[in-house]
Amino acid sequence: MALKVDVNLDDIDAYAIGLVDISVCVPSWLKGEDLIEAVNLVYPTGIQSRWTLDDQTHFPGGEVHPNPCSRKEGKLHYHFTC
């Protein structure tokens, strides 16, 4: 599967990377399959299973999910698991 939208991949930032989860800061207009595809493209898991968007309403740390970025306007923070 390829990205269907024109997003600058430099705007896909991971700010926390764990073994089975990753937290990313991405443009807020990026949604759904395009969001998932972009994250997997820039930060491949390296294993067979891909990152999937966490369906929880809060991050493990307690913040609302997704969470507006406090440093860059127009960006959102999402949590993915694999």
Residues engaged in binding Zn ion (CB under 5 A): 25, 69, 75
- Reference 26, options 81, 79, 82; nearest CA is 79
Q: How far is the CB of 75 from Zn ion (least distance, A)?
A: 5
Q: How far is the CB of 72 from Zn ion (least distance, A)?
A: 5
Residue placing its CB nearer to Zn ion in the complex, 18 or 68: 68
Q: How far is the CB of 47 from Zn ion (least distance, A)?
A: 26
Q: Return all residues near 24 (Cβ < 8 A) that are at least 6 apart.
A: 12, 13, 14, 15, 39, 43, 77, 78, 80
Residue placing its CB nearer to Zn ion in the complex, 55 or 73: 73
